[in-house]
Amino acid sequence: MSGLELAASLTGLVSFGMELCKGITQYCMSYQGAQKDIELLYEDTNALIQTFESLQNAMQDSTLKLELEKSVAHIFSACRERVASLSKELEKYIEPTKAQSKRGSISIKARIFYPFQEKGVQKLRDDISRINEILQQATGSVLIRQNNKINDTIDRIHGSRELDKIKDWLLPPDFSTSQMIASDKRSENTGSWFLESEEFVRWQDSPCSLLWVSGGAGRGKTVLCSTAIDHLIADSEHQRSSAVAYVYFDQTNQSVSQDHNRLLRSLVQQLAAQNSTGSIPAPLKNLYSRSQNGTRPPMTHDLTNTLRHLIETFSPCYLVADAFDECKEKQAFLKLVNTIIGQWRIPQVRFLVTSRSELSSELPNRSWKGFTLSLEESNNGDVRSYIETTLESPGEPLNAWDPERRKSIAKSLIARGNGNFRWVACQLERLRECSTNKDLDETLEGLPSTLEETYERTLAKVEESRKSSICHILRFLCFSARPMRLDEMSEVPAIDFEAKPRPKYCSEKRLVVGKAGYFNKYSDLFSIATIKAGDEEYSELRLAHLSVRDYLLSTKILTSPVSYFYITELSAHHSIAQACIVYLQQFGTGDQLPTYEEAIFETPLTLYAARFWFHHVQASIKAASQQSSVATAYPTGIDAQQATLIILIIQFLTQLLGLLGVEAPVLMKSSGVKNQLLDLNQLCADFLVSQGQTQIRFFDPDTPWVEKPRVSTTPGHAGPSPLYTAAQAGFLDVVRQLVRQGMDINSVGGRFGTPLQAAACKGYTDILLFLLKEGADPNLRGGDYGCALQGASRYGQEACVKILLKAGVDVNATCGEYYTAAHAAAFHGHAHVLKLLADNGADIHILRPRDRAEPLMLAASVGHLAVVELLVSLGANILTRDHDECTALHNSAPAGFDEMVKLVIAHDRASLKTLDRLGNTALHYTVAQNFPSVVELLLQNGMDPNLGNDQGRTALHSAIRTGNIEVIETLLRYGAIVNKKDAEGWTPLHLAAYFDKLEVGQMLLDTDGSIIDIPGPNGYTPLHIAILRTNVESVKFLGNRGAEFTNCLRVFDAIDGAVMLRNFHMSYISPITGLRIAASYGLEVQLRDLLEGEADINGTDEGGRSALYYASRMGKNSIVRFLIENGADVNAKTDDDESFMDFWLDQDIIDLAYKNGYIDRPGVLSDEGGRAKEKLKVDKLFEYLGGKLPADELASYQFHYPQDS
């Protein structure tokens, strides 16, 4: 079919038209800048493409498609003729041969070559412009409705995007996979008896109630829990006011964080996501604000309070927790249960918990009763149903047996299962292997009596050639630091743990194909789960059931024929540590290392090994110290396994030295190294925790928050030495050995600068004392904190501070980003260290040159009450000011620290009258930060809400941008004047019109309706401002309140209006905190400290501005680089649609942004969401104004749409 035949329908016309236009634009782009008429042709063609794309999008809606077809019916022929003319005109420029093409293939199989003749170009432009005009005239109203639909959709999802941003900050564990897996195990009607039981029904009907379900291993608690969750969720769909949140304490899936803080994060996030309005619930907003908009992680007590407030917004609110007995922080969880049920007593809450233990044994002294249910007998019906359903399933292998044999199978399993799902599931696997009647009879007759016997038989069948691999894989799955992927575990068989003199990696033994089949053969022990995380899908290898782990760790296995598989915490961590080190050693020198991406696909265990090998060594040493008896076959208490580890450590150190370009000392190469290093013992093994493989680019312990560390290739770059690595990890004996070998004790490199500073920051007093004794310089400069004393003070290492002070360090040494040790201790809230420093002569009044801040100012800015109280008691002035003339009140109030504000005011009420260098009070800054309680506190204590700053702006002016209704209500209640103008004439109502805050405008006019037409900047009324900003809803609102429309269109022709708005936009920037202020001032060390504390690198202020935006805006190119390399979102936009790329950046930063996924934002002319959206807004505005203005005034006005600057 030809193009013109295709254009016989509207759909075809659009498709063919776009094909022509894109061909033209592709060619024009090849010659942009060569000729002005080509550039104009390009712009005209882009405009037509926008129209075609709008039509194409609108036609996805069947209703709009019918309307469009009706709309173009009367002009279809004319438009089609124009398209035909355009096509014919293009044929004049079709390249005759393929060889003449300069730029490759373009649309409609035509090849257009430069230069066009001027007349020909003009003819093309005329055709394109006329087609665009015809289509827009005919379809304009329909496209406006389409745009309205899009805008409505955007409004609906805006709240969900904000919630996603906060979810990214919360980083809650996701329990949905556990719920899905448990649900998939259910057969029809499983758990129906439970849902109909008296205990469950009464629990649902009882206010503030707990149901505790207990049962032994394999009783089906998890499946039953999933049944209850699905039932409650289904009920909630019919009750908009209800909600369900759940957690799974699943030891077979180590991805689920057992940390109590993260458990609370998950409950908070789940409840917040079920808010019926679709917006972010106020309690969650407050939590985010109190955490300085994501600058610091949520505190446990704040999460608990947020959970309470969220629970109160639902009725009923169901909380469900499965397998409490597997919870690592049991006391914290029990305290939460007791708090919710026994203290809060919120009527609408219902709490369901499953556990092996009973409620009476876990909370014996509780003041409330609760419902309890035991599964020891109750679930026999479910087990029977499970067996019968399985045997009758069409795809079930056992279904191939005749009905009598199936009855026999069912009878045997039901009789001997004793209500244990897990035991039944294992026996079904055995029965599926039977092919003859004899096999079946023998298997049924010899069924094991317990789960332990079942696992013993499975382990006994493991082939001799696989015993070592299976044993070590089981150790991984019992004690891994996170869930293990199938690909990762497929590498373990390639590690020969029995090799002499040490384990070694044999790549030819790794599993390449049939990985799932390898483990499916032992289905009683292993299970494979498919995990979907975003766009990624992968397989996880897990223990088939928690009871597998229980058996492997129990002493029962020691007296069985499979004692070889016995696992202790020590043997497991030791085994995993060995595996990780051996796996990493396969790469040899730096030149042989795979890239980060190659490691993921070619050597899948690399990333785990690099990140966690130190963790497992540390855990094995800890376990060894708790073990009652230790083998003494080697000197100084070292057993064979530890001796092997020591050898591996030295070999790994040797490789590390090679990576650093340092020749390994002779002692480390000598054949007698094994014997000479046996005395390393436990601390030598600790070396594995050093994360010394930072040079192998997979994990950097100096920046553990970075998923993909940046490896510097700069010649002469001072990387960390092996001595630094050993000191940072706490390896005293390794440090001794390296010093004896002649390693430079004062080498500089790494985040902590020197080995001495690394030990001081980490709190290793033994290493600190040894290094000082061996001549380490305690005042040597280097690293983030400049010297060891400042580093130790930053981390609150009081014992290390004492040692350094005794060693004679300068207590007032000025270095590093914090300037002095006192500043570092104050900023991080270490009152005990600060007191020690002061007692030893530290000057608490010393001013930091870059901002003239005393330690007190830093402590107040981050809410450290104890530090401020200490400093005041030591003589610090609560009214001290920094370089901006800000006081402690200015710094603490906007951050939302209520108690700090109370403390500052209590010490000196004069702080309420202090002004910064711009004339702002603390109230000016606080009202823009969404902390109504602090605003109320300041006003209660007499702060004047009508005091203007140097620009004449009051607190009410400052509050309009964020539009926090509670804050504005508070200001109005305390007498804020609504008609007060700033120096340029702006009133709060003008600002409400500017920022399109309708609800705020309503409040202001309800307070004083006479301000509706109050003249402001350049004599403009609030209506003028709304029109100039094309804020259609504000225009309608003001019109409905009686605003005067006469001559309102003059604002479009006034150049000074646009200038005025631009100047105002640039001046209306709110105060910043946390990551954003650190980025603005170029404080890279402070940024690292905040990120180390789990600050959200993409957290934004009330205007949607991130740390990356502020760093770019302030010209801090090095900080921009740092943020991008640490995971900042390069495509983030502010609420005003600004990007960090809108500012002047070095070319290497721009290149880095593109390398990290930056996507160009189309210019206004070619952006359907830009110029087209603005045009539709203006069209809506003029449609409304048509009913307010005389026809001749409206008709005489020609609006010029915004162009690219």
Task: Convert 391-407 into a string of H (helix), E (strand) and C (coil).
Answer: HHCCCCHHHHCCHHHHH
What was the pLDDT predicted at 906? 94
Q: Is 12 left (phi over 0), alpha (psi -120 to 50) or beta?
A: alpha
What was the pLDDT predicted at 646? 56
Whether residue 200 lies inside any domain: the answer is yes
1-5, long-range: CB within 8 Å, 24+ apart, which pairs? Answer: 3/87, 3/108, 4/83, 4/84, 4/87
Q: What is the DSSP letter of 709?
A: P
- Taking CA atoms, 751 is separated from 703, 748, 791, 1075, in Å, by 8, 10, 11, 19
In terms of domains, do 235 and 298 share one?
Answer: yes
| Cα–Cα dist 641/639, whole Å | 6
For residue 667, give the nearest of 684, 654, 682, 680 by alpha carbon: 654
What was the pLDDT predicted at 378? 62
Q: CA angle, corner 929, sides to 924 and 932, nearest 5?
A: 85
What was the pLDDT predicted at 1166? 39
In terms of domains, do 532 and 577 share one?
Answer: no
* Tokens representing residue 932 in the block: 């109504």
In terms of domains, do 599 and 732 share one?
Answer: yes
What was the pLDDT predicted at 673? 28
Give phi and psi for 308, each to the nearest 5: -60, -50
Range of the structural domain that residue 459 is part of: 448-541
| Cα–Cα dist 96/93, whole Å | 9
Domain count, the chain: 6
For residue 159, give the nearest of 275, 289, 287 by alpha carbon: 275
Segments of the chain scoring below 50 in pLDDT? 1-7, 32-34, 94-116, 143-158, 255-256, 628-637, 640, 662-694, 713-717, 1066, 1069, 1163-1169, 1200-1205
* Tokens representing residue 640 in the block: 């064979």
* Tokens representing residue 315 in the block: 């009725």
What was the pLDDT predicted at 669? 38
Whether residue 781 lies inside any domain: the answer is no
In terms of domains, do 391 and 373 share one?
Answer: no
In terms of domains, do 435 and 513 share one?
Answer: no
What was the pLDDT predicted at 656? 56
Contact 1096, 168 (CB under 8 A): yes
- Taking CA atoms, 1010 is separated from 970, 974, 983, 998, 1023, in Å, by 21, 20, 21, 17, 14
Of 98, 127, 153, the domain-final residue: 153
Q: What is the DSSP string of 528-543?
A: EEEEEETTEEEEEEEE
Q: What is the DSSP letter of 556?
A: G
Whether residue 691 lies inside any domain: the answer is yes
Residues contacting residue 1191 through CB under 8 Å, at least 6 positions apart: none
What was the pLDDT predicted at 1203? 40
In terms of domains, do 357 and 255 share one?
Answer: yes
The pTM of the full predicted model, rounded to 2 decimals, is: 0.69
In terms of domains, do 1144 and 1079 share one?
Answer: yes
Q: Is 1192 exposed, middle or buried (0-12, 13-18, 19+ CB in 10 A)?
A: exposed
Residues contacting residue 794 through CB under 8 Å, at least 6 positions apart: 761, 785, 818, 824, 825, 827, 828, 830, 1089
Of 341, 362, 378, the domain-final residue: 378
* Tokens representing residue 453 in the block: 């016997």
Q: How far apart are the first and last CA of the chain?
A: 43
What was the pLDDT predicted at 1194? 64
Cα dihedral value 577, 582, 584, 589, nearest 10: 140
Of 354, 378, 402, the domain-final residue: 378
What was the pLDDT predicted at 532? 80
Contact 510, 528 (CB under 8 A): no
What was the pLDDT predicted at 592? 61
In terms of domains, do 668 and 652 share one?
Answer: yes
Residue type, 1135: D
Tell me the average pLDDT of the chain: 79
In terms of domains, do 366 and 411 share one?
Answer: no
Q: CA angle, corner 1013, sides to 1009 and 1019, nearest 5?
A: 145
- Taking CA atoms, 816 is separated from 690, 728, 752, 794, 904, in Å, by 24, 19, 11, 11, 29
Contact 443, 423 (CB under 8 A): no
In terms of domains, do 317 and 362 share one?
Answer: yes
Of all residues in the chain, what percent carry a pLDDT higher than 90? 32
What was the pLDDT predicted at 161? 63
| Cα–Cα dist 105/829, whole Å | 65
3-state secondary structure of 248: strand
* Tokens representing residue 833 in the block: 């260290």
> From the CA atom positions of the chain, what is the Rg in Å?
36
Whether residue 1130 lies inside any domain: the answer is yes
Whether residue 1122 lies inside any domain: the answer is yes
Whether residue 784 lies inside any domain: the answer is no
Q: Is 714 exposed, middle or buried (0-12, 13-18, 19+ CB in 10 A)?
A: exposed
Whether residue 899 lies inside any domain: the answer is no
Whether residue 1137 lies inside any domain: the answer is yes
In terms of domains, do 325 and 394 share one?
Answer: no
| Cα–Cα dist 4/613, whole Å | 67
Residue type, 333: F
CATH of the domain at 314: 3.40.50.300
| Cα–Cα dist 911/941, whole Å | 11
For residue 857, give the nearest of 837, 834, 886 by alpha carbon: 886
Q: CA angle, corner 1138, sides to 1135 and 1142, nearest 5?
A: 165
SS (H, E, C) 585-630: HCCCCHHHCCCHHHHHHHCCCHHHHHHHHHHHHHHHHHHHHHCCCC
In terms of domains, do 15 and 141 share one?
Answer: yes
